[in-house]
Amino acid sequence: MQLSLNSEVAAAPGGRGAVLPVGGAFAPQAWISRAPPPDAAAIAPAGALAGLTFAVKDNIDTAGLATTAACPAFAYQPDAHAAVVQKLLDAGASLLGKTNLDQFACGLNGSRSPYGAVPNAFNPAYVSGGSSAGSAYVVATGQADFSLGTDTAGSGRVPAGLNNIVGLKPSRGLISARGVVPAAQSVDCVSIFARTVATAAAVLQSAMGHDAQDPWSRKLALATEPFSAAFRFGVPDLLDFDGDASARAAFAQAVTRLEAMGGTAVTIDFTPLAEVAELLYESALVAERYTAIRGFFDTHETEVIEPVRGIIAAGRHYSAADLYAVQTEVKRLGQRADAMWSGIDVLLVPTAPTHYTLARMQQEPVALNRKLGTYTNFVNLLDYAALSVPSALREDGLPFGVTLIAPCGSDWQLADLGQRYHHSTGLAQGATGVPLPPMRPIAALRKPAAVKVAVVGAHLSGMPLNSQLTERGATLAASADTAPHYKFFALPGTVPPKPGLLRVAPGTGSRIAVEVWDMPVEHYGSFVAMIPAPLGIGTLELADGSQVQGFLCEALATAGAQDISHLGGWRAYIASLAAPRP
């Protein structure tokens, strides 16, 4: 296994290659072909993605490696890289190879391939999700820093949700699909998998751009203002988890978490979205899948595995009139669905309703695959952008992810909110066990003039007084530690419980975990005015030597208070109170 020097998992115990997925050894069926190792002596670090490694779904061309689309009879040798691959190489990333997929990108479960079923990174008895199964697996297990998938019905999101990684499905046409074997060309998107939103956003920045040689590429203007701190998020009125109580509980937790971040939940009518989702495979829209490989399919139909063969063959029997009728129906339902955006900024849905075992998927390959697309199938048809982010690990150890959806052009806004959500979960990166790195700002977003304020206790994300920040439009900028010049105390008799941070002589204190928030200048005064004695705002020194405004405590108030400096932060102290006593 190859890991880059600045990979998020490069510092794992034992050095490179030491990180193993929870489910055990790496699955060889995640790869279809591997690129030859680059000549290290010839590589000079350069470009925005320098030092990062990536894998490519094997329906995307890379010169020197066959493109198979998981169908050996279809394989061909491309003369050039796909446009997106070339952009990533030009940005300094190193290509590792091609990954397995549901054949012709037709499926959401990752088991429809003659190269083998790709297992879940956490439990190999379960499906990985598809069709970009191998691309998700190699990122989740630390074999690549990021990867490319494709997304027509959810293939760039479902595998992310089932493997505890980030799946960024950009606005349609934002990334060129030239050099990609199409599934349904009018709605296909090249997607990005990564272990952090910041990495996915950096890849998007390098990969995006209009391509006049791609008939479906578009010149898109992306929103550059973050969502309001007091954002409103939609929650479907109809939620189906296929009887999975753990998934239902995890989604309820996700709603609570977004509310703690300043959001207001709004129930939306999910019916038009569900009806659009059903049309993707149950109407003349499936004719586009046949059109994509018609020349090959008409002469090599028996070389295509079931149920992929049956799905594609069904596209032969629709007329042009059938297609026009269903396109009009999609537009009609889209008009109904668009009404929800007048009351919400973003839609929150489960990425997938549940997990299925490989054995059960083999018994019910069509019905269960359709279930996996419950919350994804409608997105590209309605021209939305989407970002799947990890949300929880269930009691059975399997991941649960949620997807944030917003209209076309909202990609950076989703990245900003999604990063803050992901970091609030406290989850590790993929199946590596490595903690999340500090957050990085989404560079393309404009931020209002702000004061950086470090909080240490009841104002942290999810804590009782966090709303005093969010209702003033403050946004979480980073998680950090103070310089080792502070002691930390649990102040008695405070409601809600609060800590006190006290500056001491250099070398006699500890590093204390903080969150740094960007507070709009116009609201900073009203925030400071709410802080009761013995607390106040002063200048804090962070571990990197920078200085920000932050909470400090009068020395007199710490007399007799419990010194909790050794715990390193307020969350650790709160957790210690809940821990069972020996």
Distances (CA, A) of 203 to 91, 197, 206, 399, 522: 9, 10, 5, 24, 34
C-alpha span between 241 and 181 (Å, rounded): 32
Distance CA 539, CA 18 (A): 41
Q: Which residues pair with 34 in a beta bridge?
A: 97
Chosen domain end from 408, 425, 442:
425
- Give residue 235's pLDDT band: very low, low, confident or very high (50, 70, 90): very high
Closest CA relative to residue 489, chosen from 568, 562, 559: 562
CA 378 to chain centroid = 18
Q: In terms of domains, do 407 and 468 share one?
A: no
Q: Are residues 358 and 474 in the same domain?
A: no
pLDDT average, residue stretch 217-224: 95
Does 554 reside within a domain? yes
Same domain, 252 and 352: yes
Say what the pLDDT of residue 5 is: 26
Catalytic residue (one of 57, 98, 169, 452): 57
Instruction: Name the domain boundary from 425, 442, 469.
Output: 425
pTM tops 0.95, yes or no: no
The pLDDT of 443-465, averaged and rounded, is: 89
Residues 187 and 292 grouped into a single domain: yes
Mean pLDDT of all residues in 138-144: 97
Q: Which of 24-28, 152-156, 175-179 has the lowest mean pLDDT?
A: 24-28
Same-domain pairing of 413 and 515: no
| Domain termination residue (choose one: 389, 409, 425) | 425
Same domain, 487 and 398: no
- The DSSP line for 384-404 is EEEEEEEEEE-TTS-EEEEEE
Is there a domain that residue 445 lies in? no
The answer to whether the beta carbons of residues 443 and 477 sit under 8 Å apart is no
CB-based contacts of 191, cutoff 8 Å, min separation 6: 132, 148, 149, 150, 151, 155, 156, 157, 167, 168, 169, 170
Residue 33 annotated to the active site: no
The CATH number assigned to the domain holding 530 equals 3.10.490.10
| Cα first-last separation, the chain | 42
Same structural domain, 341 and 409: yes
Kindly state the average pLDDT of the residues 90-114. 96
Same domain, 464 and 518: yes
Q: How much of the chain exceeds pLDDT 90, in percent?
A: 85
pLDDT at 41: 55
pLDDT for the residue 203: 98
Query: Residue 325: what residue type?
Result: A
SS3 537: strand
Q: In what order do the strands lie in the sheet with 399-407?
A: 31-34, 94-99, 53-57, 146-151, 189-194, 166-169, 384-393, 399-407, 346-350, 232-236, 264-268
Residue 334's domain is classified under what CATH number?
A: 3.90.1300.10
Q: Are 169 and 145 in contact (CB under 8 A)?
A: no
For residue 252, count other CB atoms closer than 10 A to its CB.
12
Kindly state whether residues 389 and 506 are assigned to the same domain: no
Domain-embedded: residue 3: no
- One-letter identity of residue 337: A
Q: Are residues 520 and 408 in the same domain?
A: no
Cα of 101 vs its chain's centroid, Å: 19
Question: Which structural domain range is residue 164 located in?
Answer: 28-39+49-425
Active site residue 57: yes
| Dist. CA 139–CA 141, nearest whole Å | 5
CB 146 within 8 A of CB 197: no
Catalytic residue among 7, 33, 113, 131: 131
Query: Does residue 507 share a domain with residue 417?
Result: no
Q: Give the phi and the psi of residue 201 in degrees, each rounded to 5.
A: -65, -40
The answer to whether residue 2 scores a pLDDT higher than 50 is: no
Q: What is the mean pLDDT of residues 401-421?
A: 97
pLDDT at 22: 43
Residue 432 within any structural domain of the chain:
no
User: How much is the average pLDDT of 212-222?
Assistant: 96
pLDDT at 582: 56
3-state secondary structure of 570: helix
Q: With 60 as the cut, is the pLDDT of residue 275 above it? A: yes
* Catalytic, out of 155, 171, 388, 565: 155
Catalytic residue check, 113: no
- Structurally, the chain folds into a number of domains equal to 2
Assess if residue 436 is contained within a domain: no
Let me know whether 206 and 310 are in one domain.
Answer: yes
pLDDT digit string, tens, across residues 72-90: 999 999 999 999 999 999 9
Residue 383 forms part of a structural domain: yes
- With tokens 């994804």, the residue in question is 376
Confirm whether 328 is domain-assigned.
yes
d(CA 146, CA 440): 16
CB 519 within 8 A of CB 468: no
536-577 residue pLDDT tens: 999 999 999 999 999 999 999 999 999 999 999 999 999 998
Task: Check whether 340 has a pLDDT greater than 70.
Answer: yes
**Rounded distance between C-alpha atoms, residue 552 and residue 541, angstroms:** 11
What's the pLDDT score for residue 39?
A: 67
Residue 320 lies in a domain: yes
